[in-house]
């Protein structure tokens, strides 16, 4: 078992305002494993930023436990608050890099000095700081811009500098809060791929906050869905995509995996005797199913809908298949399908 | 040319270049007062301005009590018209420099007159720094010192130069009034040797010299502000 690098336990965040209190994060518990790329998705205002900001205590919780890198940063389960010391927090934060939607680079420093600023309290000598800054710029592909000012760079380039800055102190965790939301699709994908590369090359744990499911699909292993301050679902991305029945989750995933809404939109004139949804990865497909169904059970299978999605570079197929034949044969055919590697969901239509 | 000047500006010529009432002396007095009160008032204003941002509710060290004390002090001194401040602060001036009149004595009310104005301007300039930059710096483990001087002041430096220019120019206005406590300077020349003696040529020349001084400060300020600003593409 790999260790949990981030553990949140029943974390609550409340903002007391003049006339009301905003309960931005409600009883959220979450464990993130070392080396994971963990996505947190939800609508704007769901509490994603507030939640992840509790990881490096940029946001102090109202209650709960925050444990990062095996150290307890914050604990309040019985009304008594225990905080990590200010000095220790400062040191620990250097183990947790963070990047933001609006890059937040310092405009009055060159690109290289932005990175050097992060290394101010490291043990490195001035010369070593310069070398390391250049090395990091090389990693993000911007070595030739070392002496430029951030305003002279494009959005995508600025975010790369921000990534280099976040990596300056060799952190073990990188938090990305909507880091691609201000970028065009091409830059978005480049930044996401860079995060993935860093994850693989440096073994960094990445926490990716976004309101775009495409970003999650591209690089995340695990995902949590937030809505109105609550964490409504979490798990392996494939399981969530294929099996989640939660309406909010389904809205995010879109309809490509959702049999009922596909059927509704297809508006079939003649309904088959049975409908099944088959979901499979390229590894799962061995035999020609439709032919087998006909040969072995004498049922006629007909593809109603077919789609391929790519999750973390892996194609995942979804087929809706209508089956016609007598009750008994259909039952046997379904058993056969269930025994295969393919994920099979029988669709019972209400409408 | 010289003849023409002597005919048209007799009083100006009469004051002479050297001597107690001479032009050199009043120019030096104005520069002396402006420079030193800018240093003292500037440091005081910078400290108070930074405190107003740091201890604010949204600041890096929120503290209602300190914020309110600083805020009230600034508001109090800001509310006192300068000519009244000259009198109000006289005992303190006496205590500090041993006299209530003269150019050096004027530095005390000048510094106290200008610092609240500057503190408010510094406050606005520093607050213009995006809180996201502060947060990003905090996330890389910056100390409060780093945040104040490495982020707030450094990021707002162009804006700080701009408000310093404005402050310096209004300070020149205040030095003119310091003539009331015998501080001399160009303002005093314009009023005492010009206006009060119906010597309008003296008033005109003193005014022109002040205007030239203001323009020079403005030009240098604008140049520096532009040079120190990298937040726009250029
Ligand atoms: N500092 C704050 N003071 C008051 N309310 C806040 C503060 N920060 C966030 N909120 C509120 O908390 C809720 C969650 O915000 P946020 O975490 O930014 O959501 P998300 O990142 O998912 O868009 C929102 O209703 C927001 O208005
Ligand atoms: Mg957010």
- pLDDT of A256: 65
What percent of chain A has pLDDT above 90?
Answer: 64
* Interface touch B136/A121, C-beta < 8 Å: no
Confidence of residue B225 (pLDDT cuts 50, 70, 90): very high
Which protein residue's CA is at the shortest distance from atom 6 of ligand 1? Answer: A15
> Domain coordinates of chain B in residue numbers?
17-233
Under the banding of pLDDT at 50, 70 and 90, the label for residue A323 is confident
ipTM of the complex: 0.89
- Model confidence at A251, pLDDT cuts 50, 70, 90, reads confident
Burial class (CB in 10 A: 0-12, 13-18, 19+), A306: exposed
* Mean per-residue pLDDT, A311-331: 82
- Other CB atoms within 10 A of residue A282 CB: 10
A230 vs A43: CA distance, rounded Å? 12
B91 has pLDDT over 70? yes
**Please, what is the angle between helix B23-54 and helix B103-127, to 10°?**
40
pLDDT digits (tens, 9 = 90+) for A262-315: 777 777 777 788 888 888 776 666 667 778 888 888 888 888 888 887 777 777
pLDDT for position B9: 87
- Pocket lining: A39 vs ligand 1, CB cutoff 6 Å: no
Which residues in B lie closer than 8 A to residue A92 (C-beta atoms)? 141
Using an 8 Å Cβ cutoff, are B4 and B159 in contact?
A: no
Could you tell me which CATH class the domain B17-233 is placed in?
A: mainly alpha
Number of other residues whose CB lies within 10 A of the CB of residue A261: 13
Q: From the CB of residue B69, how many other CB atoms can be counted at a distance below 10 Å?
A: 13
Separation between Cα atoms, residue B160 and residue B150, nearest integer Å:
14
What's the average model confidence in pLDDT over A177-193? 94
Asked whether residue A178 carries a pLDDT value surpassing 70, the answer given is yes
Task: Please tell me which of A61-65, B9-13, B101-105, B176-180 the model is most confident about, judged by mean pLDDT.
Answer: A61-65
Among A207, A248, A221, A109, smallest CA distance to A165 is for: A109
CB-based burial of residue B101 (10 Å sphere; 0-12 exposed, 13-18 middle, 19+ buried)?
middle
| Whole-number pLDDT of residue A3 | 83
Determine which residue's CA is closest to atom 14 belonging to ligand 1: A47
Give Cα B54 to chain centroid, integer Å. 23
The whole-angstrom distance between B28's CA and the closest CA on chain A is 36
Alpha helices in B55-156 (DSSP H): 64-79, 82-88, 90-97, 103-127, 131-139, 144-145, 154-155
3-class DSSP assignment, residue A274: strand
Helix orientation angle between A289-297 and A327-339, rounded to the nearest 10 degrees = 140
| B220 or A256, greater pLDDT | B220
Listed ranges A241-250, A254-263, B50-59; the one with the highest mean pLDDT: B50-59
Structure tokens at B90: 């006289």
What single-letter DSSP state applies at residue A2?
P
Q: Give the chain B residue nearest A89 (alpha carbons).
A: B141
Using CA atoms, how far apart are residues A284 and A342, in angstroms rounded to an integer? 6
Among A58, A63, A73, A60, residue whose Cα is nearest residue A5: A73
Strand-pairing partners, residue A234, are: A224
Question: Is any ligand 1 atom within 6 A of the Cβ of residue A61?
Answer: no
In B, which residues are within 8 Å of A90 by CB distance? 141-143
Cβ of A58 closer than 6 Å to ligand 1, yes or no, is no
DSSP-derived letter for residue B181 is G
Please report residues of B whose CB lies closer than 8 A to that of A109: 154
Distance CA A159, CA A104 (A): 9
Atom 26 of ligand 1 has which residue's CA nearest to it? A45
Mean of pLDDT values over B60-64: 96
Provide the pLDDT for residue A325: 84
**Mean pLDDT, chain A, as a whole number?**
89
Residues in chain A: 351
- Residues B130-160: b if buried by 16+ CB within 10 A, e if exposed: eeebbbbbbbbbbeeebbbebbbbbbbbbbb
Token pair in block for residue A348: 């019972």
B101 three-class SS: coil
- Please write the tens of the pLDDT for every residue from B144-165: 999 999 999 999 999 999 999 9
Helix, strand, coil abundance in chain B, percent, nearest 5: 80, 0, 20
Q: State residue A157 phi and psi, 5-degree precision.
A: -65, -40
pLDDT of amino acid A2: 57
List phi, psi (to 5°) of B47: -60, -50
**Does position A351 have pLDDT exceeding 50, yes or no?**
no
Residue with tokens 């030739």: A144
Average pLDDT over residues A64-74: 96
Residue A147's Cβ-count burial label (10 Å; 0-12, 13-18, 19+) is exposed
- Residue A11 β-bridge partners: A28
A194 lines ligand 1 (CB under 6 A): no
Predicted local distance difference test score (pLDDT) of residue A13: 97
Angle between helices A155-167 and A126-139 (to 10 degrees): 130
Tokens of B169: 């120019």
pLDDT of A125 reads 95
């Amino acid at each position: 078992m790999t260790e949990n690098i981030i553990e949140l336990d029943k974390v609550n965040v409340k903002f007391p305002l003049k006339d009301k209190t905003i309960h931005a994060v409600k009883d959220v518990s979450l464990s993130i494993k070392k080396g994971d790329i963990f996505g947190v998705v939800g609508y704007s205002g769901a509490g994603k930023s507030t939640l992840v900001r509790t990881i490096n205590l940029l946001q102090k919780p109202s209650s709960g436990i925050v444990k990062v890198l095996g150290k307890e940063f914050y604990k309040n389960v019985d009304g008594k608050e225990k905080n990590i010391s200010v000095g220790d927090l400062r040191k620990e934060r250097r183990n947790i890099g963070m990047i933001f939607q609006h890059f937040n680079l310092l405009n009055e420093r060159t690109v290289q000095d932005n990175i050097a600023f992060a290394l101010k309290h490291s043990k490195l000598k001035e010369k070593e700081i310069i070398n390391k800054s250049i090395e990091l710029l090389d990693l993000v592909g911007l070595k030739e811009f070392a002496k430029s000012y951030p305003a002279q760079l494009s959005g995508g380039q600025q975010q790369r500098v921000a990534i280099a800055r976040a990596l300056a102190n060799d952190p073990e965790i990188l938090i990305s809060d909507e880091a691609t939301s201000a970028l065009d699709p091409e830059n978005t994908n480049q930044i996401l791929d860079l995060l993935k590369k860093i994850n693989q090359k440096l073994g960094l744990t990445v926490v990716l906050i976004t309101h775009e499911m495409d970003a999650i699909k591209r690089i995340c292993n695990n995902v949590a869905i937030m809505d109105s301050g609550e964490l409504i679902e979490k798990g392996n991305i494939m399981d969530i995509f294929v099996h989640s029945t939660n309406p909010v989750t389904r809205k995010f995933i879109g309809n490509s995996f959702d049999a009922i809404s596909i059927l509704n939109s297809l508006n079939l004139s003649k309904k088959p005797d049975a409908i099944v949804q088959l979901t499979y990865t390229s590894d799962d497909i061995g035999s020609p199913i439709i032919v087998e169904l006909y040969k072995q059970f004498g049922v006629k299978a007909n593809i109603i809908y077919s789609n391929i999605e790519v999750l973390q570079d892996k194609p995942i197929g979804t087929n809706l298949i209508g089956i016609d034949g007598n009750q008994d044969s259909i039952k046997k055919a379904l058993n056969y399908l269930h025994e295969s590697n393919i994920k099979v969901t029988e669709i019972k239509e209400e409408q | 040319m010289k003849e023409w000047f002597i005919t048209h500006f007799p009083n100006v010529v009469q004051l002479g270049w050297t001597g107690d009432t001479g032009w050199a002396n009043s120019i030096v007095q104005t520069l002396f007062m402006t420079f030193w009160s800018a240093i003292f008032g500037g440091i005081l204003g910078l400290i108070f301005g930074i405190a107003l941002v740091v201890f604010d509710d949204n600041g890096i060290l929120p503290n209602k009590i300190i914020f309110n004390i600083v805020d009230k002090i600034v508001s109090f001194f800001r509310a006192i018209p300068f000519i009244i401040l000259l009198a109000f602060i006289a005992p303190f001036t006496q205590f500090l420099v041993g006299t209530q009149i003269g150019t050096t004595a004027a530095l005390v009310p000048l510094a106290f007159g200008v610092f609240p104005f500057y503190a408010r301007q510094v406050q606005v300039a520093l607050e213009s720094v995006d809180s996201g930059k502060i947060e990003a710096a905090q996330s890389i483990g910056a100390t409060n010192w780093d945040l104040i001087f490495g982020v707030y002041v450094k990021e707002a430096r162009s804006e700080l130069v701009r408000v310093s220019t404005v402050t310096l120019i209004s300070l020149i206005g205040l030095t003119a009034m310091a003539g009331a406590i015998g501080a001399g300077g160009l303002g005093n020349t314009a009023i005492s040797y010009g206006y009060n003696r119906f010597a309008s040529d003296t008033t005109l020349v003193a005014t022109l010299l002040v205007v030239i001084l203001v323009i020079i400060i403005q030009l240098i300020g604008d140049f520096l502000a532009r040079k120190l600003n990298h937040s726009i593409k250029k």
